[in-house]
A and B are shown apart, each in its own frame.
Chain A
Amino acid sequence: MSIKGKAYIAGVFEHPTRKAPDKSIAQLHAEVADGALADAGLSRADVDGYFCAADAPGFGASSMVDYLNLKVRHVDSTELGGCSYIAHVAHAAQAIAAGKCNVALVTLAGRPRSEGHSGTMARPRDPNQPDQPWEHPYGVATVNGYGMCAMRHMYQYGTTSEQLAWVKVAASHHAQHNPNAMLRDVVTVEDVLNSPIISDPLHRLDCCVVSDGGGAVVVVRPEIAKSLERPRVKIIGAGEAIKHQNGGDIDLTYSAAVWSGPAAFAEAGVKPADIKYASIYDSFTITVIIQLEDLGFCEKGKGGRFVADGNLISGVGKLPFNTDGGGLCNNHPSNRGGMTKVIEAVRQLRGEAHPAVQVKNCDLALAHGTGLQLATRHGAATLILERE
C-alpha cells in the first residue's frame, strides 16, 4: 500500500531556544508538542498517535505519553538516530492510511549543549552492543567517523576541502536571515579552511553546532487537513534504509540514501530534477555531498563539484538547501537533525520561509537525513512533500 496522498503535515514547530539549562527534556518535548498542535489548530485531546525516538527520556513513548497526559491508540518509537523523525512522518502516514490513528504527533527534544556533549567525545556504549569490543577501544566519536568518509571520498573522487567548505558557506548565507540561528555570520570558503582541523579533513566550520532545543510535527488524515485553516502539505513518498559494516566489506563513499532515496522518488512518482527545495542533513559538510550524490541530484563522485560556487544557495544556485541555516548554522537539537529538516521543508512549501530565502513557486520539497554514524552503521530516511 502506498502512502501517497494518504496523510498531510498539518502542524510544525521548532523550539526557538538554543540553550535551555533551566528546562527538562520532557518539558521541551511538551513545549514543541503544544507548539506544533497550535500551529495546526489542534489540541492534545485530538492526538491519537504518538511517535518519538531515543531522545525521549525515561521509558520513551510510554514516559512521554504519560507526561503529556495523552490517550493514544498507536505508538512508534523507531530509532534511526538523527533521521528518526523523517521516518516517523512516513510511519505516521502509514498508520493513518491503515486506520490506526487520525492525528499523529512526532516530537524531538534534547539539551546536549547544557549537558556538555560534543562530537569529539566517544559516547558510552552498551556492553551488549554486538561490536562493542570491536569499536569502543578505537575512540570513534562522531567527527572522526565522518572524517574517514570524507578522506575516502577525497581519495577516490578528488573531492576537495574547498568544495566541502561551499556547503557551510551556503548554510551561512541562509542563516543570516534566521534570528534564532546560533551562527548568523556569513562565512567564506577561506574562513572554513582557516578554522582549525578537528579530525582530518574536517575543520571546525565543517561541523554542525551543538544546541539544545527540539521540534514537533503533526500528521493528519486528509479529511482533517481539509478542515484546518493551514496551507496543505501532502506526503507523497518516503523511503528508509540502514547501511552497516557489511561483514567487513566496507565502502565509505556512499550512504543508505542510495536505497531510501529511490524508494521515495518511486513512490512519489517524481525525479530529483523536479525538487524545488531540499532539506539535507548536514551533521558535517561531507554528509551533504555524499547524500546529494546518493539521492541522485548528481552523479556519484561529483557532489563536490555540484555544491561548489553557491549552487545550494537560495536564489543563486540550482538546488536551494537548508534555508533555515541547517545544523551547520541554525541548530542541532539533541544532536539530531532530522526534525528540523522536515520543519523547514514544510515552511518552504507553505511559503512561510524567510522572504530572503523563500523559493519561488515551491510546490515540491524533499527532506532527507542520516542518523547515527555514517562510517559504521547508520539509518537514512527520505520524505517527499507536495504543496496542494
Chain B
Amino acid sequence: MLMAKDRKIPAPTPGIESQPFFDAAKESRFLIRKCRACGRAHWYPRAICPFCASADTAWVEASGKGTIYAYSVMRRVPEPFALAYVTLAEGPTMLTNIVDCDLDALRIGQAVEIVFKPAENGLPVPMFKPV
C-alpha cells in the first residue's frame, strides 16, 4: 500500500490555444477539443484538427470519465506518483497523473474520473482518480 500524496505540480504555461481550457477548469469544467468537420475529438487540444486539418474545431465539455490505458509509478523520488495515459469516454487518450489513490493498487483498464489539482502557479491541472 502506497498512498499517493499531493506533490508539487510543475506549472502549465497556457498559450493562445490552451487558455480557454484553464478558464473553464477554474469553474471545474473539463473541456476537450472536437472537430465539427470530421466529428472527432482529439487530445491535446489544437485550433486546427490533427485528423482532417479543418479549422472548424470547438471546445466541448467532456464527461470526465475514462479508463487507464497505461501507467507507471515513479518510486525513486521523495513523493512517488503515477504517470498515466487515460482513455476518455469521448475517445482520445490523454497524458495525466492518477491521484488520490493507493499507487500499489492501480491497474490497466481501471475506471477513473477527472479531478483538478492545483499546479505551482495555482492553475487547475486535469488529473484522474479511481472511481
Contacts and interface: CB of A to CB of B under 8 A. Distances in A.
Interface of A: 120, 122, 127-128, 130-141, 143-145, 147-152, 155, 196-202, 245-250, 252, 375-376
B94 interface: yes
A196 B76 contact: yes
A174 to B, nearest CB: 27
Given A120-B76, A139-B81, A196-B76, A133 B18 contact: yes
Contact of A132 (B13, B21, B74, B77): B13
A148 B93 contact: no
A312 B75 CA distance: 29
Interface in B104-131: 108, 119, 125
A120 B77 contact: yes
A137 B10 contact: yes
B92 interface: yes
A376 B13 contact: no
B69 interface: yes
Given A148-B71, A198-B75, 10 more contacts: A120-B77, A134-B95, A143-B74, A144-B74, A145-B83, A147-B83, A245-B43, A248-B43, A248-B91, A250-B87
Interface string B56-88: 000000000000011111111100010111010
B15 A249 contact: no
B91 A144 contact: no
Contacts of B50: 246-247
A248 B92 contact: yes
Contacts of B94: 134, 248
A197 B9 CA distance: 23
B14 interface: yes
B15 A148 contact: no
B70 A128 contact: no
8 contacts: A132-B15, A134-B95, A140-B83, A144-B83, A147-B83, A151-B71, A198-B74, A200-B72
Report which residue of B44, B83, B87, B93 has the largest number of chain A beta carbons within 10 angstroms of its beta carbon: B83
A132 to B, nearest CB: 5
A55 B87 CA distance: 35
Nearest to A244: B50
Nearest to A124: B10
B15 A127 contact: yes
A213 B69 CA distance: 37
Given A151-B70, A199-B76, A137 B81 contact: no
A141 B119 contact: no
A11 to B, nearest CB: 40
Nearest to A246: B50
- What 6 A-B pairs have minimum CB-CB distances, sorted nearest first? A248-B92, A147-B72, A248-B43, A133-B12, A247-B50, A134-B44
Nearest to B50: A247
A197 B75 contact: yes
A148 B87 CA distance: 14
A357 B92 CA distance: 47
B12 A136 contact: yes
Given A148-B71, A248-B92, A136 B10 contact: yes
B84 A148 contact: yes
B125 A137 contact: yes
A149 B69 CA distance: 10
Interface in B1-52: 7, 9-15, 17-18, 21-22, 40-46, 50-51
Report which residue of A136, A138, A151 has the largest number of chain B beta carbons within 10 angstroms of its beta carbon: A138
A375 B85 CA distance: 9
A243 to B, nearest CB: 14
Nearest to A122: B10
Contacts of A140: 83, 95
Contacts of A248: 41-44, 91-94
A145 B87 CA distance: 16
Contacts of A133: 12-15, 18, 21-22, 44
Given A127-B13, A127-B15, A136-B12, A250 B75 contact: no
B29 to A, nearest CB: 16
A200 B92 CA distance: 24
Contacts of B73: 199-200
